Structure 1
């Protein structure tokens, strides 16, 4: 063979080999490319060799560290921003991403179980997250079942923070325990995702090498959301999971974060009171119990506390002495150790919260020497519950005087009580005064006390605002609020200088809806609405649950009292529904209390009556756990619930999948319905769904377990929402930005995107049809109206490719007559007209055929999945094999030609 021919053959063979190696390399790259296609930047962790012995751990760890692909040690805090954020301009808004509908990211219980070793659940680094992809009810049902199984297995994370609330610019220190529940020594990683509504802002990671069954609790400074990462007056949701080196999720949980320079914007108010263990006293020996409760309440994001009945007397509230007796309290002879109170105030301040000292605004205890002459008292205009006409207004218990009352217009009293409260708050380290009243009464000044002329009289509520404004002038450095019992005087108090608005509400009060008692969930909403409209503030509601009642011989007078005798607990759903009714309306239910009470069962107390130390019903672990999750929800979504949010004129309706209407009464005064109403804020709308199916609408539930308050859970609901005045193009855009969240166990504050359609009614107006997979107690649908920038995204590739199914479309409702409503007192008379307007036919819920604009994403519109990667990989392999065959054929031809020569 000639040298030039040999050289040509060598070159040809080298080319063939190069082509073969290149094409096969590309095939391998295509197979593995999905691991680099995630929507967020992941911190890659290399697991140690399986079966590593403990004796080799010290020598193995340096090698593991060197193998890390992040610029940190194995024990260091690791922070990673989203890839999508890295692609954006630094001044641009954070890229909007819908919350994942994977059950891995749905809510979990707060309680951690380190003694169990649940079956690990695979976390895919390349799970498919198509932006705004609608999720079918069937998929969500699977997620619900998986979440329920997770709770049964006990794989929930115990995540805490160093504060209940943060100032703008503060770093957030996270604390959690990493448990290696596997049989292998390996890296265990905590991943925390920070969400603002549907937007994922940041991803944080912390990794620790642990032996089997070993645990490690992070220390302050190791796992931190950096300072200046979060905006002021915003609620955030932190979604955390703990996984092993193979990305199997071991534990998971959700936690809200609040950044608020001013607690008055979103008050989350709780009480601290005496312990029944020691005759309603506040003693140093009970501080461990109080601290335990305050730690839980810190993690419930409580930002303000009401120190109830820790005063010596109404005119000498908190003297600078080691201990005092409450001599006016003849039923329990309580004692207060001032060092214990100061320690609790200090602990509250450490959490970032404020401490308010409770005291009456006009009272003098009957057993105390008068501090002012008789000329400064107020006198009854009429004979009644406060004594005879012409006598000093007096409050009595069992015909025994407890308090006398001074005239709020008296300059002498204004000077006296402002000085007394200033000294008391200074002595105890308090931040403000929680003022109380005994209610309203028609009264006379001393110089008119014998007059029967009504023109000489006045209502106490007529002068409360003037008194409060004088107190703020005299106590400018302290917060101030007043309990307007039943909230009936907001029109008189609207212009007062109160820092927050607090109402103690009772069923016997007159509803803001009109001439009816405020006994239903809807009456609570009406009062919250009224206060917001008058003041722009979020109402704090003292609504006490169940309130057991006994006669003098301890004979029960209601079902709640019979529950006490049976050593029963609060009815969990009764408490939660009242909290939900108030929060959904934009208020806050003050129900939680630190009482050092054995009935709390290691949890946090729940207020049952106006005298806070009395708690005779038990708090179950279930109620304590769910109270925790409701507080996370109220905090994480505070901007949707009460950030300048108003009632919406739109009238949404809720139906079953077969067309039966479940929403009957937008006012919420009737039970046996899905109470449905809409609210709107700045560039968003919400639809509140409260499940009252099969239960009554009374909020207090004095009947206890004799009145079941657990509603019938609903699935596969259809909610219609009219978009009157909105173009079809705008309706189509809005329909892609519809989400749902819930504090209940199936979501625990996670947010999911919903399947929607846009239809038109007979007037040509668009109507949004929204598919809701499940309703336990409370759901909130969130409709984002902002225009989001279209940012191209690299498709994410699933590890286990599967055909993407078309999302389920809400079933066309059938023509079914609405359910009759019991006790139909104020049902919307135009309900049938509204349904007709939506459908174009009288009582016919068939979807209109004029325009069926489905927003479901077709198979062709979805990004390429792993199936196409596999096809591309196979094609490259075929090309490589073909090149090899061509090369071989060429070589044989050369050899044959040489022989012929």
Structure 2
């Protein structure tokens, strides 16, 4: 099959995609992929063609991402957006994190791509913590001409709860004047009085005189970045504050402007971000050209380190421990290293740090190293491994710097155990795939990243490790100006975030890092990756209390039907892990089906787009009790929202108590979480089956499957509770919603619903009850101005029943549905 044929298929699939739900489209593309494979069976190009098809699928999914860059009423609007694009261009908040009880200002930027003018439309804002509503919804009016952009954003102010260290999800539902849903979007909100529990770290390298610091901070704020590393803004490693704090050269000869740094810091503090000054913990430079030598600045040579006579690097034995970086205009190209255990060096460098932090207003110190280079020798003949000095040095730094934050990078995770047990505020390590952990295992795989995140959490009593993990570094050097491999980045993110870690990957006005020298910009993000990263950061904020808030690993059994699945990160499988905390049991599922290796670095730019899985049936062996199951994901099909899953079976066997449920879609990463609490809005039925979201109180169609696009859920005119379901269109339509229950106790059931059909006159409007193995029962819905209760009766003989509402109608005709109940007689 040639690319031209794919292009034709692509054009055919776009309107189908735009008119279907995510699930139905994914089922379509999956079926089509199977057809293509059958057609190409026996051809040696099958794998290559499947990769092309996966690219098409990825592009189609990326249609949900719309990009823009503008300023609206003085508010910078980043090009980083995660919206469906039909109406909402961007949804963001005014700060990266908030104190308990703070007011959050939510901005929704509108561009009307709906094809019609909207006058007096409504945006409903819902506020959730995990599966629960935490505040009353708010509704704000807006108007927008077709093809136009509102001159000011839609603004909603929300006072967050008083609970500390909690993540929330805000959902915006954008409707026209007739109540028809045009678009939805979500944004995370972190309520934390400090950044160290849930760090989200970014970087800055642009310190020129006229840098747009305000927009750079606004952009990173939109990713909820709450800590910033000011990379190479120092004068020299041993003298981070220049004598002239207005302008100076860094070691590479770049001009650094003090007012630019102060401007960054001012904007960052307004957004509740902390500012970390960066330099080495034990390095100094000398320069015979300009006379800027470390000994002239008060550094003593007898504080230094030399390669010992036992060092494995034979050519270096007896030589001064140095590191050559590169030839630079300043001549400061060689780092000379000193003993972090030496009290003289400690007093010197920590005094310099205090001076630097106070001169520019930093909030803390990010110390760096060059990793572990084997046994060293001091001037007085003592032998030392630098990694063994970390605990003592960092504890001394924390005491000397007072209320300033302290963190350090043990490169390659060498000596990380000594950092983990120190008094640092935040954990950070630069991972390289060739370095090895304490058991000799290389850090080259997804599971190796996860293992280090988990081990650091245990050793540090619960801290969340930040991992840079430079993606595709060698590829970027060889192909400057190219794009990151989106699949590779998202899978590495998923491996680290699902383990409870964090990343340093974003900085400089929304750029992505791929080199240990941060100013290098060899690769860039495409539009799809930008949108996925926005979703990723919203997700790790909204679900921080399930990702890195006291969870511990378990060995609870998981079985995935009809697919390869493993606790190991085996290529071609669903990689799962299980955790538990005081309330929830959690399964993390990362999709490696269709991925040909489990190595995260991706320097070969190999295919890392998984084959999207639909209707993934899972058996889970639980502890305690489980009565509610939910799934959430940063993938576009979920858009960070929690979806209720029906427990299809609850039983036990020789391995223990288990439940079974079906996950609708797994693209990259799904998180399933379970609790013993009863689900909201559900009615317990028979043998552990329940009607999900019977009153639509989740604020959406959770639990229901829709056929047609003329349906929505809102909080206008609900018969009971806060929400109702409605059908509506200006044009003629056929619309159906349905839910299938299984595991029911056999018997006669009465099904009731409150309905109203008061605008227009339908051609056909009814409730449909389908008994599997039996017939169908129809109950007509009458026309009238008030809600009425309709009732149907069905006999269940094989444990299954489908409940549906269907309407065929001309334009300008409605149907309202609420409070569906099921009763076993």
Instruction: Compute the TM-score of the two structures, normalised by the length of structure 2.
Output: 0.72
Shift of 1:527: 0.2
Structure 2 residue 608 is the aligned partner of structure 1 residue 709 = yes
Deviations 1:731-767 (A, max 9, x none): xxx24x1111111111110111113223445427322
Helix, strand or coil: the match of 1:466? helix
Helix, strand or coil: the match of 1:860? strand
Gaps of 5+ in 1: 1-118, 123-134, 275-281, 450-455, 549-558, 597-603, 810-852, 878-901
Shift of 1:405: 1.3
Structure 2 residue 513 is the aligned partner of structure 1 residue 607 = yes
Shift of 1:192: 0.8
CA distance in 2, matches of 1:875, 1:636: 39
Task: Name the counterpart of 2:500.
Answer: 586
- CA distance 1:787–1:246, change in 2 (3 Å): closer
CA distance in 1, matches of 2:437, 2:744: 43
Picking from 193, 200, 223, the partner of 1:261 is 193
Superposed, 1:433-832 pairs within 5 Å as: 433-444=365-376, 446-449=378-381, 456-511=382-437, 514-535=439-460, 536-548=462-474, 559-564=475-480, 567-594=481-508, 604-655=510-561, 660-664=562-566, 666-668=567-569, 670-705=570-605, 707-723=606-622, 726=624, 730=625, 734-735=626-627, 737-763=628-654, 765-786=656-677, 794=720, 798-799=725-726, 805-807=738-740
Picking from 211, 224, 248, the partner of 1:324 is 248
- CA distance 1:746–1:858, change in 2 (3 Å): farther
- Which structure is higher in strand share? 2
Shift of 1:516: 2.2
> What number of residue pairs does the alignment pair up?
648
Structure 2 residue 137 is the aligned partner of structure 1 residue 207 = no
CA distance in 1, matches of 2:25, 2:325: 59
* Contact 1:653–1:676 (8 Å) recurs in 2: no
Shift of 1:488: 3.6
Task: Name the counterpart of 2:283.
Answer: 363
- Which structure is higher in helix share? 1
Picking from 353, 375, 386, the partner of 2:302 is 375
Task: Name the counterpart of 2:347.
Answer: 415
- CA distance 1:377–1:787, change in 2 (3 Å): same
Shift of 1:248: 2.0
- CA distance 1:873–1:225, change in 2 (3 Å): closer
Specify the structure having the higher radius of gyration (Cα).
1
Shift of 1:606: 1.2
Helix, strand or coil: the match of 2:593? coil
Helix, strand or coil: the match of 1:158? strand
* Contact 2:22–2:637 (8 Å) recurs in 1: no
CA RMSD of aligned residues (A): 3.6
Picking from 181, 201, 217, the partner of 1:294 is 217
Deviations 1:229-284 (A, max 9, x none): 3532111111112222101233331111111101000000011114xxxxxxx202
Superposed, 1:110-125 pairs within 5 Å as: none
CA distance in 2, matches of 1:797, 1:789: 15
Shift of 1:487: 2.0
Gaps of 5+ in 2: 1-16, 31-56, 66-83, 288-292, 684-694, 696-719, 728-733, 757-766, 768-778, 789-825
Structure 2 residue 125 is the aligned partner of structure 1 residue 192 = yes
CA distance in 2, matches of 1:468, 1:430: 18
Helix, strand or coil: the match of 2:422? coil
Helix, strand or coil: the match of 2:648? strand
* Contact 1:804–1:859 (8 Å) recurs in 2: no
Picking from 851, 860, 865, the partner of 2:750 is 860
- CA distance 1:334–1:184, change in 2 (3 Å): closer
CA distance in 2, matches of 1:188, 1:714: 37
Helix, strand or coil: the match of 1:159? strand
Deviations 1:470-499 (A, max 9, x none): 111111121001111222423333331100
Shift of 1:177: 3.3
- CA distance 1:592–1:862, change in 2 (3 Å): farther
Helix, strand or coil: the match of 1:439? coil
Deviations 1:120-164 (A, max 9, x none): 999xxxxxxxxxxxx997699699999987667643341221111
Helix, strand or coil: the match of 1:591? strand
CA distance in 1, matches of 2:600, 2:540: 21
Superposed, 1:10-159 pairs within 5 Å as: 154-159=86-91
Helix, strand or coil: the match of 1:627? helix
CA distance in 1, matches of 2:787, 2:553: 60
Task: Name the counterpart of 2:334.
Answer: 402
Task: Name the counterpart of 1:77.
Answer: none
- CA distance 1:494–1:217, change in 2 (3 Å): same
CA distance in 2, matches of 1:417, 1:344: 25
- CA distance 1:479–1:300, change in 2 (3 Å): same
Task: Name the counterpart of 2:231.
Answer: 308
- Range 137-146 or range 605-614, more displaced: 137-146
CA distance in 1, matches of 2:232, 2:468: 16
Shift of 1:560: 4.7
Picking from 81, 95, 117, the partner of 1:163 is 95
Structure 2 residue 263 is the aligned partner of structure 1 residue 343 = yes
- CA distance 1:294–1:653, change in 2 (3 Å): farther
CA distance in 2, matches of 1:443, 1:771: 55
* Contact 2:209–2:260 (8 Å) recurs in 1: yes
* Contact 1:196–1:237 (8 Å) recurs in 2: yes
* Contact 2:507–2:513 (8 Å) recurs in 1: yes
CA distance in 2, matches of 1:738, 1:435: 43
CA distance in 2, matches of 1:580, 1:138: 25
Helix, strand or coil: the match of 1:176? strand
CA distance in 2, matches of 1:183, 1:788: 39
CA distance in 1, matches of 2:346, 2:144: 64
CA distance in 2, matches of 1:346, 1:857: 68
Shift of 1:529: 0.5
* Contact 1:263–1:304 (8 Å) recurs in 2: yes
* Contact 2:88–2:110 (8 Å) recurs in 1: no
